[in-house]
Amino acid sequence: MLTKELVLDLWSKTYNTEGKPDWSHIIPYYDTNIYFRDSIQEIRGIEEFTAMTERLTKRSKDLKMNIVNSVMEGNIIFLEWEMTIKFKKNPSSVMYGSSRLTLNEEGKIIEQRDYYDLWGDIFDNIPRFGKAYRRFMIKKFG
C-alpha cells in the first residue's frame, strides 16, 4: 500500500543526482490499467506508461527531481515538484509542476495527472527569448 512517505522515498530514488533516471523500482506500484496525462500526452496501460518512461530516459542526459511539498488525503497524493532536466544538446532547464496520484483499492497508482508549463519553463532558459515569450503571454492572456 502506497503512503505519502513511501512515494517520497520512491520518487527520490527515481531521479538520481548523477546519470539517467530509473523507474524500475516504482513501476510495480502502478496498476496495469494506469491512466497518465500531462501537458503533452495521454497514456493508458502499464506498457505505454513504461515505454514513456524509457523514452524520457533516452532523451535526457540528466534529470533531477526535488519534491517541494506533498499531501495525502484519502486515496489522493498530491506532490509539488521542481524538475531539472538536461537534454543532450541544451542547457539544463527547471520545470515547476505538480502531480496528483490517485490510488485504487489495492493501494496502487491507477491515475497520475501531471501539471506543468512545459514551454514557459523551457523558454525561460533561452536568453532573450524567454522574456519575449512571457511578454507575449501577458499581452494575449494576462
User: Could you tell me the three cell numbers for 110?
Assistant: 491507477
* pLDDT for position 89: 65
Q: Which domains are assigned to the chain?
A: 4-116 (3.10.450.50)
pLDDT in tens, 42-89: 999 999 999 998 887 777 767 778 899 999 999 999 999 988 777 666
Phi, psi values for residue 65, rounded to 5°? -125, 130
* pLDDT for position 115: 93
pLDDT in tens, 86-131: 766 666 778 889 999 999 999 999 999 999 876 666 666 666 766 7
Of the candidates 81, 87, 78, which has an alpha carbon nearest to the alpha carbon of residue 116? 81
* pLDDT for position 1: 81
The whole-angstrom separation of Cα 88 and Cα 123 is: 16
pLDDT in tens, 76-85: 999 999 887 7
Give the position of cell 519575449.
Answer: 132
The 10 Å Cβ neighbour count of residue 13 is 14
Give the pTM: 0.81
The total number of residues shown for the chain amounts to 142
* pLDDT for position 57: 77
